[in-house]
Every structure is written in C-alpha cells, then in structure tokens.
Structure 1
Amino acid sequence: MSAPIGQHWQQVNDGEDLLGAGFRARTFVFAGPKTKVHTTLVNHIGHPNTKKAILYVHGYTDYFFQTGLAEHFIDLGYRFYAVDLQGYGRSIRPSTPPNWCDSLEQYGQDLDIALATIKQDGVDHVVLLAHSTGGLIASTYLAQPYALAERESYYKKAFPDVIGLMLNSPFLALPFPPKVLNRISWPIRILVSLLPFSYLRAKKITLYAKTIHCVFGGEWDYRLDWKPAHGFDLSFHWLREVIHAQRNLANQRLDIPTLICRSDISTIGKRTTEEVQQGDGVLDVDSMQQSAEKTFRNLTQVSIPQGFHDLYLSHEPARTAYLSAMTAWLHTLTEKH
C-alpha cells in the first residue's frame, strides 16, 4: 500500500493478529526522531462495509488486548481499530527503548497512519477512544492547529472525520489532588528538566498489576513482556514531556464532543489489593476532572463506582456501567450525524 501524498510511511506486514482469526494486524515503518520506528494497526474484521469506526489508543506501559471491548463496539454496528503506538506492544523493536519518546507530539504520526489507513478501508466517521496517557496523546493530537488551508484540505480528503472523543481515565494531570498539585507541580517540572536522563527504576510489582493480571489472582491474561507487572523504568525525560503536553492542553479549548469516564474515587497509596480495587489506583480523579473541564467545551462526565484505572478491566458491575455509559453517549452522538 502506498502512503497518501505528503506522508512518509510504508506498510511492511499484514496478517492475522495474535488475538486470533477475528483480528487483523498491519505494521508500518516510518522515520522516528533518531531511527526508524514501527506502528501497528489492529482491527476486528467484523462489519467490513460499515462507514463508522472506533479507534482505540492505549495507555503507558500498555498495548491492545481487550477483545471483549472490540466485540462490544462490533455489536453496536461499528468497525473497531486499535493502534499499538511506536515503542509499545506489537510495535516494540530492539532499536528503540520501550515507551520512549522525544515528544508526545511524535505519536501524531502513529495516529495519522491509523486514520489514513482507516479512511482507505472505507470509513468516513471515527470516534477516538483513549485510555490514560493515550487520552493525553489523542487530545494533544486533536488540539493541533491546522492553520494552513492546504494542510486542512489534505486532511479532509485523506482522513475520516473524527466526530467524537471518549476518554477512559485520561492522564490530563499529574497524580496528585488539586491542592497538592498546585503546590508541587513547579518543583517537579524543575527536577525533571534538570535531570532529563535520569530514571525511576521499576523494581516492585505494582498493586495495580496485582488487581488485574490472572497470575496474581486478577481476571485478565496479557503479555507481561509488553505490559510488565513492575512497569518499565520511568524516564524523567518522558515525564517532562508529559508535563509539557498537559500544560499545553490546559491552554487549549476543544469543541469536539467528549465523554470522560473515570472512577468515582482515587485509591493511590492504598496498601492492599482489595483497597486499590475500590477505585483508580493510578491517577487522581479530581485533578483529572478539573483538567477536563478546563479544556473540553462539549463535555459529558460519568463516574463509575469501583472502577479501576482502566475501566474496562474493572470487576463487574463497574465494567458493564462503563460500557453502558459509552453506548448511551454514542447513541446521542450518532443522532447528530
């Protein structure tokens, strides 16, 4: 497949995905900041002629494996796609450190590739669904200014219309309550800027991982080399770029219809798996909500009791409540299109 005019990527693989016969995976290679990188677009093969689709963007230390999530949207009449961003999951390569980025804006190329390919598949309307850091990446992507008429015209021809954004516990603010965040955000920014080549070493298995993976008693089986239970080493450079993206987004005002789903409480710092399972054990939901209200002008918010950080991985009935919230919101959205 040749790339659209003005784009520079090459498809290098197309076949059945590791999730099984119901899923297709296409791999693309393109120039990254330092070397060639890969991105992978996975799609459920259901509804091949439908003109509307969901595009899922995963979070940090993550990849797409939630087959039931895909099947939910297939049952609603959508096509379903998911992208494993450069340096994540199916797109990890020996030449690039896992999860590394020079800037969060570079993931715009992954989304360009995904959306252009979806358009070539015959899809006209897309709703983005993004989790955690993926929510920050997707929001940053949608906030890009298309100032040049020529560029805007090209995007309209080569890309489907992105008509909505669904955010699953988005990483719009650092994981501290609002009052604490106001006090410590500046010192954190100074620290990560002064020490960009430093890391927080990943040593212990996180309580969040213990809540979800089956080897620790959770419900889910996924690849621990791609989503390790102790996480990857946390780069201060990566954290600096996250803070930069969050600050930039806070100064944007987006009109796209947006749904944010989050847990009703945060359980950061809890000491047992049972306590962590009562809410979001990764991010602060109040800071998340405040940031969302600042940026998104057409915002619907839903809180999910006992929802995990990745709401789809929650226990029942929280998982069903999350799926129901998206279903209801999509029904309202599609009535307008």
Structure 2
Amino acid sequence: MTDSVDEPATADPPTWRPDPLGERFEQLTLPLGHDDEGEVVATLVRYRPRWRPRITRGAASGADVLYVHGWSDYFFNRELAEFWAGLGARFYALDLRKYGRSLRPGQTPGFVADLATYDADIAAALAAMGQPDATGPAAGRPLILLGHSTGGLTLSLWAARNPGRAAALVLNSPWLEFQLSKVGRQALAPMMELGARVHPLAPLPNVDLGFYTRAVSREQGGEWEYDHEWRPDRGFATSPAWLMAILAGHATIESGVDVGAPVLTLLSARSTILARWDDAMRSTDSVLVVDEIAQRALKLGSSVTVARIDGAMHDVFLSREPARAEAYADITRWLRGYGPGR
C-alpha cells in the first residue's frame, strides 16, 4: 500500500460547517484525492470569537496560527484556541489525513510511509486560511506553526523544506528523537526497513500501556474530555512502514536542519517512563525522554529557545492549570521578543 493520492476532482468550493467542539468552532473538509483505501481528506478547524476587540499590542497580533496534533490524536483543546485569540491571532487547527475528523471507514489510522506526504495537507490548510504560497512582503499575514509531538516533527521538517513560509515555530514536546536515543534508532532502523519492504502494514507490538491516557482523561482522574474513538486509550496500531517514516524524520533532524524562523520548544522538566503506573506521570512526560528532545531542538536552526516547565505532562497544554499557565506565559514572553515583526 502507498500513501500517494490521485489529484482531487474539480468540485464546488467546500464550505465551513459547525464543529463538534461547539459554538465559535467551525470545520472545513479539505479533499486530497484518493489512495488505496479510498477518499483522503484533511480537516481544518477554526476558532471564531463571538466578538473580536481591536488588539493592536497583542503578542501575536495580525498572525495566523496553525496547530498540528500528535500521534493517535486530534484537536480538541478549546482553551488553546482561546489563548491564541486573546493574543490577537487567528487560530486554526489541522486534523491530518486519517486522524480524528479526517479518518474515514476502512482507513488505517494515522498511516503514511513518508512524513512529506503531509505537505499536501498543510498546503491545503494554508490555502484555506488565505496564506499565499510566497515569502517576504508578498506572504501577507505572518504564520506561526504550533506542533505537538509527531506534529512538531512534521512541522519542523516542513518548515525546513519551505524556508521563509513560517515566521515562528512553537513546539509542544516535539518528537524529534526516538525514545531509545540515536543508538537505539540506528539499531532498529534496519529491521524496520526490512519489515517495510516485506510487510509494510504488519502490526508492531503495542508498547502503549495506557498510562498517558490515565493522566489526561477525565474518566481516569485527568482533566480532559475527548472522543476516545479518535484518541484511543492505547494509541493506534503502528507498522514498520510508518515507523520507518518517523525514524527517517529523526535522522534528518539529528543531521541538522534550518527551519528559517525562531523556535520555542516547550518541554516538561522531567520524564517518568516506567512499565507500571506512577502518580508522577500526572506531572511529568511519560512518553518522551525530555532531556534528549531538548538537545535535538538545538538542531532546528540558529535561534532556538527551550523552556522546561515543572509539572508539565507530554502535552504541555493538557497539564494541570499551574503548568499550563506557565507555558502560556512563556509563549507570550517569547513572542514579544521573537515573534513576527519583533
């Protein structure tokens, strides 16, 4: 199976419609053609405040923000949209193909064999946002890319391939290196390469024990409600071909890239990665080794800021309120120094 798609047929322009997040949120289906599993779409979500005051001094005034989720995830964080609107930005979130709102019956959730496949999803989103395919004065509103975990990896690679398109990157625990470090990645890659050739979609052992869900989900003591079909408790099944795409992305970052814009990387102060539940997982990253991610972030360009937040989980914006507040304050302060137009 490949993740290439045929060109979408000409059709009437798609229209925005109400989103399950409720009032002030709308969604737009972005047709991306067809692949071996049928119709392929991405879904753009936008936040439209009931009224928008004239924010002339907001830290993100006049900018567009595009958020991309992580693995086994989709956009559901209303508070995040409200935060960026309060800074004066227009907020958009993208459910990539075969995730969340974009997942169609019969599709392999989250599957691609090359992270560059998402260039089409991002291009469609930017076009719908009114972002021209240009840099410099012709680019219009400044673009801030906001990515979590695998979304942070995807956007970093995209920005490096499209220098000048983004004015700033804000990365929320980006998955820039494999959990077993560079050595583990290099040891695993040959086996995954063979598997990708022989059985590209063969399911790999599930190493997600559900601890991160326990820390996040309101039903299990966390603070957040979401669709467990779109964000399953133990994640989507992975495959050799998909993992090879991730490992290739990690290798590219490790070799060094230039995203062409200032970068803010938000991370927890600590990791807690265990084979048993520990309450510390409610206030630390239970998915990534944050010290390694902090080091890899320095490979993204010449202007990189790393903010370590005590009490933060893997998704910093799903952490308990004190850690979220610190993250929002860090973003605001950083934008005033490095954001568009500063």
CA contact (8 A) 2:160 2:260 kept: no
Inter-partner Cα distance in structure 2 for 1:318 and 1:333: 22
Of stretches 193-202 and 105-114 in structure 1, the one that deviates more from structure 2 is 193-202
Shift, 1:183, TM fit: 3.1
Shift, 1:54, TM fit: 1.2
CA contact (8 A) 2:32 2:41 kept: yes
Inter-partner Cα distance in structure 1 for 2:22 and 2:318: 20
Inter-partner Cα distance in structure 2 for 1:273 and 1:211: 10
CA contact (8 A) 2:159 2:260 kept: no
Percent identity over the alignment?
33
Instruction: Summarize the alignment of residues 22-37 of structure 1 with structure 2, pairs less than 5 Å apart.
Output: 22-34=24-36, 35-37=38-40
What SS does structure 2 have at the residue aligned with 1:281? coil
Shift, 1:204, TM fit: 6.6
CA distances 1:110-167 after superposition (whole Å, capped 9, x unpaired): 1111111112699611101100000010011111167xxxxxxxxx9xxxx5200000
**Where does the alignment leave 5 or more consecutive residues of structure 1 unmatched?**
1-6, 147-155
Aligned mate of 2:98, from 65, 87, 105: 87
Of stretches 274-283 and 162-171 in structure 1, the one that deviates more from structure 2 is 274-283
CA distances 1:4-44 after superposition (whole Å, capped 9, x unpaired): xxx96865452111111211110011125534310110000
Instruction: Summarize the alignment of residues 55-94 of structure 1 with structure 2, pairs less than 5 Å apart.
Output: 55-94=66-105
Letter aligned with residue 53 of structure 1:
D
> Are residues 120 and 305 of structure 1, via their aligned partners in 2, closer, same or farther at CA, if it must alter by over 3 Å?
closer
CA contact (8 A) 2:145 2:169 kept: yes
Shift, 1:169, TM fit: 0.2
Aligned mate of 2:333, from 323, 328, 333: 328
CA contact (8 A) 1:208 1:273 kept: no
> Are residues 270 and 263 of structure 1, via their aligned partners in 2, closer, same or farther at CA, if it must alter by over 3 Å?
farther
Shift, 1:290, TM fit: 1.5
CA contact (8 A) 2:131 2:141 kept: no
What SS does structure 2 have at the residue aligned with 1:111? helix
Aligned mate of 2:242, from 225, 238, 242: 238
Partner of 2:17: 15
Aligned mate of 2:286, from 275, 281, 285: 281
Higher strand share: 1
Partner of 1:217: 221
CA contact (8 A) 2:146 2:170 kept: yes
CA contact (8 A) 2:64 2:90 kept: yes
Of stretches 114-123 and 270-279 in structure 1, the one that deviates more from structure 2 is 114-123
Inter-partner Cα distance in structure 2 for 1:203 and 1:253: 32
Aligned mate of 1:127, from 119, 122, 144: 144
**Where does the alignment leave 5 or more consecutive residues of structure 2 unmatched?**
1-6, 55-60, 133-138
Partner of 1:150: none
TM-score, length basis structure 1: 0.86
Partner of 1:52: 63
CA contact (8 A) 1:48 1:79 kept: no
Q: Aligned residue pairs: how many?
A: 314
Of stretches 311-320 and 121-130 in structure 1, the one that deviates more from structure 2 is 121-130
Partner of 1:39: 42
Partner of 1:188: 188
CA contact (8 A) 2:142 2:340 kept: no
What SS does structure 1 have at the residue aligned with 2:292? helix
Of stretches 72-81 and 34-43 in structure 1, the one that deviates more from structure 2 is 34-43
Instruction: Summarize the alignment of residues 78-117 of structure 1 with structure 2, pairs less than 5 Å apart.
Output: 78-117=89-128
Inter-partner Cα distance in structure 1 for 2:306 and 2:276: 29
Partner of 1:136: 153
Shift, 1:53, TM fit: 1.7
> Are residues 57 and 145 of structure 1, via their aligned partners in 2, closer, same or farther at CA, if it must alter by over 3 Å?
closer
TM-score, length basis structure 2: 0.85
Of stretches 274-283 and 222-231 in structure 1, the one that deviates more from structure 2 is 274-283
What SS does structure 2 have at the residue aligned with 1:162? coil
Shift, 1:221, TM fit: 0.2
CA distances 1:163-221 after superposition (whole Å, capped 9, x unpaired): 00000000000013xxxx24322221011112123322549751010001011111100
Inter-partner Cα distance in structure 1 for 2:145 and 2:162: 18
Inter-partner Cα distance in structure 1 for 2:156 and 2:182: 22
CA contact (8 A) 1:280 1:309 kept: yes
Letter aligned with residue 39 of structure 1:
A
What SS does structure 1 have at the residue aligned with 2:307? strand
> Are residues 336 and 123 of structure 1, via their aligned partners in 2, closer, same or farther at CA, if it must alter by over 3 Å?
closer
Aligned-residue RMSD, C-alpha:
2.4
